[in-house]
Amino acid sequence: MNNALTFFILSSISFSAFAQSVVINRVFKGAGSDGQYDAIELLVVEDHIDMRNWILKDYANNARTGVDGDWGAKLRFKDKALWKNLRSGTTIVIRKGDANGQNPSPDPLYQEDTNASDFTIDISAHNKTLLRPLASPNVANPPTYSHKDLILGGTELVLLRWDDGFGEGMGSANAVHAFAYGDLSSSAHFAGIASPKLHHTSGPVAGGYAYAKLANKNITDYATIAGTSANPKPPIYTPPANNNESLAQKLKNNSTLVKTIINENIRYNYPGVKEVYITYKTASDANMTLYILDIDLTDPKLSIEVGTQNDKFVANGTQTVLDMVSAKNANVFEKHVIAGINGDYFDFSTGIANASIIKDGTIVRDYMSAGYKFFGQLDNKTYKIGEQPEYIKLKHKFQELIGGRYPLILNGTIINSTDGAIAPRTAIGLINEKRAIMMVADGRQAHSVGYSLPQLAEAMKALGAKDAVNLDGGGSSTFVIRESNGNSVIKNAPSDGSPRKVSNALFLMRKTD
């Protein structure tokens, strides 16, 4: 597919008058099997477009109505520098490979082009560094989700959507432009798209294109049916207000754990994040020290993500949480780790975590035994704690996930445990799907004896958690904070005397742009 820069230099005024930002320029129907060599070409019309988090999708089964018609590929443009500042006239080609995601072009010398300085980007639809597949549901209730490949049918509808990173990909909200061919007279999906949309009654033959007629060099070539393109500009950021509630008092009022509050230190280094340090006397006059984050995930700049050894997509290998933080910060774009806790239990000999790991939408380890629990971030930026059956149904919808060995609270009910051992503990809980509690309790030391699992569950419930899971504890328990000067430090006192290398971690991330 050739760059159409010359056309856009001639016609940019016509396009800008219609506030069109990006259009689907043409599609290519490959001659390979299972959609191999199928391709979609986008054309950037407005200058300095930020396409991060936008969604490109095709519709399944000849674009019929209902969920089964929306069961096609959905690709999110990831939060990467390449997509942030696209220049007018840039073409973006996305190609379908074979069943293994390889060979997306019939050209044996094909190489991806990710340098936008020549106004051309050409990548595989399977490029997980730049694109994130979003899962589609089937019609079962409750549905099971799976990823679908980009395959252009004999009748097809392709849609480009603006998104702020919180959309799941279903439906046509925030449509920017649509391109369709074939008989769509009965398609509710096509009829429901509000953006400008182009419809050809006939589609491309195998090895051929379907594209706009460029004779008039006008926006009407890209919109046989007029509409209003979604505004590509994100909403104005409004930070959440600080929550000044005393967590120490809340813990004392709602549990049997606290005899006397010795000290509570509350800090607000970042919007939406309440950092709390509590020391108290137990009923037996023992010392107890807690490290807590109360996190308001309605703040669009915040997210909880998985940390691994050197930030790699690996299930084995260990590293201290602090070193994982450094590796994560070196790899991310316009965000950084502002807090972290250790993650799942793991095999000391291999470093392999006990349960599944999903990182940046990629299933790194797929193992969730009966009775095991998980904490994860879904593709609409909500968060969930659940059990194996939910994991099986939803695993392709998760963008980030680790396992947790013992449930503490499920659906507001404390789960009884016979584990009365007093030890350092790490836990994560959800007050709701957008508000989380991270907690580390020091133990086996004079300044803090530790918690049993029943005590840990009681503490999390007292703080308002409706669901909570116990993570690895003992010498693994680690609580890392990014201080206001930018340095990341371990705030708790690991019981081994030094930080333990662990298999994975949970990081609180904050965007910097």
Residues 199 and 97 in one domain: yes
Predicted pLDDT at 488: 97
Q: Specify the DSSP class assigned to residue 46.
A: S
- Could you tell me the two tokens for 150? 């980009």
| 4: pLDDT strictly greater than 90 | no
* Percent of the chain residues past pLDDT 90, beyond the cut: 71
* Mean pLDDT (the chain, rounded): 90
Residues 174 and 272 in one domain: no
How buried is 291 (Cβ within 10 angstroms: 0-12 exposed, 13-18 middle, 19+ buried)? buried
Residue 358, domain member (yes or no): yes
Q: Provide CB contacts within 8 A for 269, sequence distance 6+.
A: 275, 338, 481, 482, 483, 484
Residues 163 and 297 in one domain: no
| 18: pLDDT strictly greater than 60 | no
Residues 105 and 217 in one domain: yes
Q: 61: pLDDT confidence band, cut at 50, 70 and 90?
A: low
Residues 372 and 498 in one domain: yes
Strand order in the sheet with 120-124: 120-124, 91-95, 39-44, 22-29, 208-211
Q: How many domains does the chain have?
A: 2
Predicted pLDDT at 5: 36
| 449: pLDDT strictly greater than 80 | yes
Report strand pairing: 197-200 vs 175-181: parallel
Own/partner pairs for 180-183, CB < 8 Å, 24+ apart? 180/63, 180/156, 181/27, 181/155, 181/156, 181/210, 182/62, 182/63, 182/153, 182/154, 182/155, 182/156, 183/155
Residue 17, domain member (yes or no): no
**DSSP alpha helix (H) spans, 94-217:** 188-191
Q: Provide CB contacts within 8 A for 249, sequence distance 6+.
A: 261, 264
What's the whole-number mean pLDDT along residues 316-343?
96
Residue 235, domain member (yes or no): no
Task: Give the relative orientation of helices 247-254 and 453-462 as an angle to the nearest 10 degrees.
Answer: 120
DSSP, collapsed to helix, strand or coil, labels residue 248 as helix
Contact yes or no for 165/300 (Cβ under 8 A): yes
| 7: pLDDT strictly greater than 50 | no
Residue 163, domain member (yes or no): yes
Predicted pLDDT at 267: 97
Q: Specify the DSSP class assigned to residue 122.
A: E
- The pTM (predicted TM-score) of the whole model is 0.91
What's the whole-number mean pLDDT along residues 436-464?
98
Residues 277 and 201 in one domain: no
Q: 496: pLDDT confidence band, cut at 50, 70 and 90?
A: very high
| Among 499, 437, 444, residue whose Cα is nearest residue 471 | 437
Own/partner pairs for 237-240, CB < 8 Å, 24+ apart? 237/300, 237/301, 239/271, 239/272, 239/299, 240/271, 240/272, 240/296, 240/298, 240/299
Number of neighbours of residue 383 by Cβ within 10 angstroms:
22
Predicted pLDDT at 313: 95
Q: 483: pLDDT confidence band, cut at 50, 70 and 90?
A: very high
* Percent of the chain residues past pLDDT 70, beyond the cut: 93
What's the whole-number mean pLDDT along residues 141-161?
88
Q: 428: pLDDT confidence band, cut at 50, 70 and 90?
A: very high
Strand partners, 358: 363, 401
Residues 292 and 182 in one domain: no
- Lowest mean pLDDT across 74-88, 140-154, 213-227, 408-422: 213-227
What's the whole-number mean pLDDT along residues 201-222?
68
Rounded Cα distance between 374 and 448, Å, is 28
| 465: pLDDT strictly greater than 90 | yes
Q: 38: pLDDT confidence band, cut at 50, 70 and 90?
A: very high
Residue 10, domain member (yes or no): no
- Lowest mean pLDDT across 68-72, 433-437, 441-445, 488-492: 68-72
Q: Please indicate whether residue 319 or residue 223 has the higher confidence score (pLDDT).
A: 319
Residue 380, domain member (yes or no): yes
Q: Please indicate whether residue 187 or residue 295 has the higher confidence score (pLDDT).
A: 295
| Among 370, 408, 421, residue whose Cα is nearest residue 391 | 370
Specify the residue for token string 């392999």: 352
Amino acid at site 128: K
Predicted pLDDT at 279: 98
Residues 487 and 370 in one domain: yes
Specify the residue for token string 């005024």: 13
Residues 467 and 414 in one domain: yes
Residues 36 and 178 in one domain: yes
Predicted pLDDT at 220: 54
Residues 217 and 253 in one domain: no
Q: 64: pLDDT confidence band, cut at 50, 70 and 90?
A: low
- Could you tell me the two tokens for 96? 């379908």
How buried is 460 (Cβ within 10 angstroms: 0-12 exposed, 13-18 middle, 19+ buried)? buried
| Among 441, 458, 487, residue whose Cα is nearest residue 277 | 441
Range of the domain at 39: 22-222
- Could you tell me the two tokens for 296? 């308001």
Looking at 271-361, which runs of residues are DSSP E strands?
A: 273-281, 287-296, 302-308, 335-342, 357-359
- Could you tell me the two tokens for 104? 């997306």
- Lowest mean pLDDT across 6-10, 27-31, 265-269: 6-10
Predicted pLDDT at 16: 38
Residue that is last in its domain, among 188, 222, 256: 222
Residue 210, domain member (yes or no): yes
Predicted pLDDT at 65: 72
| 155: pLDDT strictly greater than 80 | yes
- Could you tell me the two tokens for 315? 């299930």
| 10: pLDDT strictly greater than 80 | no
Q: 73: pLDDT confidence band, cut at 50, 70 and 90?
A: very high
Residue 59, domain member (yes or no): yes
Residues 268 and 377 in one domain: yes
Q: 221: pLDDT confidence band, cut at 50, 70 and 90?
A: low
